């Protein structure tokens, strides 16, 4: 598995904000400034799942109070798994726009007039991480995750996002690897290694569903050497090829199988004893 640098794409006319974002993210991201929605779209198509996009939601608009740009909406429709952060002045009159951005799938907002320190911007970028995948995962309520299980799964999402391994997952929760293994058993989750593998496959599946991605670009974006390596990784947990997955609705199929595995691990009588 290759470690690809995490790109941070910026489409924002405010040079002060762009510089602030660049400085806040310099140790974690490789920042790329783009000049148009089209350029941004191309960048997102090639970006790995851990990429973050910072945009001005009104970019290119006339600023006549017509709401966020339709280009942003198209971007979020084409790439629902992309992590997009909006940078805007959160004036009280923008109540509707803020809510609308949330509904469109914006992962976080940088308040340009408030988040003026590096710590503030850094925290907004961290808060946005993996938000789209978390949202996708939460839509399936066929299996009730216990509180502990949910904490572990959320930590696994973040670990995989930065190319982490099971031992990194244990560290992020403050456990030793053996404690994590025990907690996974008690929480009726797969073992940490398999859980991390599942998260990788779910990430890849989310990208496969984005109409703008090819199977090859998904493989590269997820840190594999190409589509063959991606196929092998998916085969480890699912009886499908990437193309079959895509045809059947990749994320839906993969998450259904993931939840089925959780169902099999679940002790139905846990609450009844």
Partner 1 sequence: MGVTRATRNPKKSRRHWRIPPPPLRDGDAPGPEGLLVLHDLDGDFGVVVWKMLRSVLLWAETSPSDRGSLFSPDAGQRRRAELLAATHGENHPLLEPMESLLRMMDPDTIPDPDEVGVACLRIAGWADENEFPRTAIEFRQAAALSCPSNPRFALSVMRTARDLAQYSRAEAWFHRSVGLARQCRDWDTYVRAYLAHGTMMRRRGALPAARRSYLKALRRATRQGLSEVRSMTLHDLFVLEEYASNRDAADRYAGLAADSYGPGHRSLPTLAHDVAVAWLQQGYFENSLKVLRSVFPHLPEAYRPVALGSLARSSAGVGDTPGFSRARRDLSRIPPGPGVAEAWIEVARGSLLLGNRAEARDAVRRGEDLARTRMEGQIRFMAQSIFDAIEAEEAAALRQVPEPSEGGAATDRSRLADRLVVLLEPLSSGERAHSAARR
Number of residues near partner 1 (by CB under 8 A): 55
Choose between 179 and 228: whose C-beta lies nearer to partner 1: 179
Smallest separation (angstroms) from partner 1 to the CB of 174: 6
Q: Which of residues 140-179 bind partner 1 (CB under 8 A)?
A: 144-152, 154-155, 173-175, 179
Q: Report strand pairing: 30-33 vs 7-11.
A: parallel
Closest distance of CB 232 from partner 1, Å: 30
Choosing from 3, 62, 63, 103, the residue that interacts with partner 1 (CB under 8 A) is 103
Among candidates 45, 46, 52, which has minimal Cα distance to 30? 52
Q: Please list every residue from 179 through 218 that binds partner 1, using CB under 8 A.
A: 179, 183
CA gyration radius, the chain: 19
Query: Judged by CB under 8 A, does residue 261 bind partner 1?
Result: no
Q: Residue 118 or residue 229: which is nearer to partner 1 going by CB?
A: 118
State in angstroms the smallest separation of the CB of 165 from partner 1: 19
* Closer residue to partner 1 in complex, CB, 198/224: 198
> Is residue 137 close enough to count as binding partner 1 by CB under 8 A?
yes
Q: Which stretch binds partner 1 (CB under 8 A): 8-16, 67-75, 119-127, 198-206?
A: 119-127
Q: CA separation (Å) from 226 to 29, 161, 216, 218, 229?
A: 22, 18, 6, 8, 6
Q: Which is nearer to partner 1, 17 or 230 (CB)?
A: 17
Q: For binding to partner 1 (CB under 8 A), which residues are involved?
A: 86, 90-95, 98-99, 101-103, 105-109, 111, 113-117, 119-120, 123, 127-128, 131-132, 134-135, 137-139, 144-152, 154-155, 173-175, 179, 183, 270-273
């Amino acid at each position: 598995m290759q470690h690809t640098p995490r790109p941070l794409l910026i489409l924002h006319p405010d040079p002060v904000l762009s510089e602030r974002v660049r400085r806040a993210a310099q140790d974690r991201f490789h920042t790329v400034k783009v000049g148009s929605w089209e350029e941004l779209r191309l960048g997102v198509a090639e970006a790995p799942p851990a990429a973050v996009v910072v945009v001005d939601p009104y970019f290119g608009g006339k600023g006549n109070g017509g709401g966020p740009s339709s280009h942003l909406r198209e971007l979020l429709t084409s790439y629902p798994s992309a992590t997009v952060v909006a940078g805007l002045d959160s004036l009280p009159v923008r109540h509707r726009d803020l809510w609308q951005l949330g509904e469109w799938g914006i992962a976080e907002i940088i308040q340009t007039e408030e988040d003026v320190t590096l710590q503030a911007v850094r925290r907004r970028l961290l808060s946005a991480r993996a938000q789209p995948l978390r949202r996708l995962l939460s839509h399936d309520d066929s299996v009730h995750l216990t509180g502990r299980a949910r904490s572990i799964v959320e930590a696994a999402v973040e670990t995989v996002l930065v190319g982490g391994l099971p031992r990194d997952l244990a560290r992020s929760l403050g456990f030793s690897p053996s404690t994590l293994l025990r907690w996974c058993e008690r929480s009726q989750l797969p073992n940490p290694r398999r859980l991390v593998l599942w998260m990788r496959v779910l990430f890849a599946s989310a990208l496969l569903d984005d109409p703008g991605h090819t199977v090859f670009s998904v493989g590269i974006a997820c840190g594999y050497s190409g589509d063959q390596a991606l196929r092998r990784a998916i085969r480890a947990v699912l009886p499908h090829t990437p193309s079959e997955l895509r045809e059947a609705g990749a994320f839906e199929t993969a998450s259904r199988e993931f939840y089925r595995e959780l169902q099999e691990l679940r002790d139905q009588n846990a609450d009844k004893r």
